[in-house]
Homo-oligomer: A and B are copies of this chain.
Amino acid sequence: MRCDVLAIGTELLLGQIVDTNSAWIGEQLAEAGIDTYDHRKIGDNLARMVASLRSLLDEADAVIVCGGLGPTPDDVTREMIAEVMGVELERHEDLIEEIKRIFGSRAREMTDNNLRQADIPVGAAPIPNPIGTAPGIRAVFPYGGREVAVYAVPGVPYEMQQMVRDHVLPDLLARSGEQAVIRSRSLKTWGTSESALAEMIDHRVEAQTNPTIAFLARGIEGLYVRMTAKAPTEAEAIALLDAEDAELRTILGELVFGIDDETMESTVLDLCRARGWTLGVAESLTGGLIGARVANVAGASEVFRGAVAAYATEVKRDVLGVTADSVVSEECAVQMAEAAQRVLGADVGIGITGVAGPAEQDGQPVGTVWYAIAVPGHPTEAVTARLPFDRERIRQFSTITVLNLLRLRLRSLA
């Protein structure tokens, strides 16, 4: 089974919007074991759209079309599919009612243009859109001596994703004769390089076909090890994931900081919460980034007390009471972590200081960072690193690194 992707919109060609939809769809297709070989972006031009869809259907068994389903005269995905099928559009009365209902409930004024969203090619079927006004389209028809499928979905990412997940993928799998349930899980890691990680688990990657194992490098979000399992039932797919998860963790150990929707900051907050501890941050070169990242977790307020971004040396001395000679030193980082406990009334304190550039400071080169972690009842510990990055990456990298150090410290107490 081969399914390609056609993204519609002149704004995509002009670079006003980056097409992220086709990458997301490609990821889902790969997980589902469906081949995808050709992704295209075409502007809102009916003749070119028709030619492009035909050319894709010459090779592919199915095509997912994103965008061009809106109410404006530009939006001609409906017309494109009708033309390739060789049929007319027909207006669906039940869809008109649905569109009117949605407009009513949002108290917006509906123009007649919106009724075009109730047009479906004869012989095709609408796909419900529970979160937008434009229904999708599923068209299965003979083409080039065989049966092909075209799915039209909205260009709005969250509407597209819901429709692909709930309708298009199950339909594609049914058409491919595949009865399997597909489930995936990502083990998120921090603390080693991509090549070192690959070497650690190469034998598992080679040995495993179900679940398959892949790497995803997500920059300062970490390196993910993604397992994808296929089985007759969800329970069996989950069991396959659980078994491989256990194998991988015996190899990866503490490199794994979370799975799927867990983030480094949510993991750290969970570890603090489990002990009933609160968290405070004293940061310098990161300027508030650590606090901002922690505060972005819903429910952070139970644990997170706050942060002092002591950018100027005087703020380190006056607000945090730093007495260290150099503000880029182990002593300073330790004093900052302990000040985070004291000044912010927190059980756990993070201290971080260093040189993000552009210029060196206190005789220390750009990229020098000191991290300190203070926890109740134990001596405060500090480590240093020299980061070979630019200003922005030094700040981002330091942020996840110090959160990871806190995670490891809390785990070591367990």
Contact = CB atoms under 8 A, between A and B. Distances in A.
A13 interface: yes
A319 B289 CA distance: 20
A43 interface: yes
A306 B304 contact: no
A318 B308 CA distance: 13
Contacts of A305: 311-312, 314-315
A12 B21 CA distance: 12
A216 interface: yes
Which of A45, A217, A289 gathers most chain B CB within 10 Å? A289
Contact of A291 (B37, B43, B309, B343): B309
Copies in the complex: 2
Interface string A340-356: 00011100000000001
A17 B18 CA distance: 12
B306 A300 contact: no
Nearest to A298: B358
A17 B30 CA distance: 13
Contacts of A308: 306-309, 319
A310 interface: yes
A209 interface: no
29 contacts: A12-B26, A13-B30, A13-B36, A13-B37, A14-B30, A14-B36, A15-B25, A16-B27, A16-B216, A18-B18, A19-B19, A37-B43, A37-B48, A39-B41, A278-B312, A281-B288, A281-B309, A283-B288, A287-B294, A288-B288, A288-B289, A288-B290, A289-B295, A304-B311, A305-B315, A306-B308, A308-B309, A319-B319, A319-B344
Interface of A: 12-20, 22-28, 30, 36-43, 45, 48, 52, 55, 214, 216-217, 278, 281, 283, 285-296, 298-301, 304-312, 314-315, 318-319, 343-345, 356-358, 391-392, 395
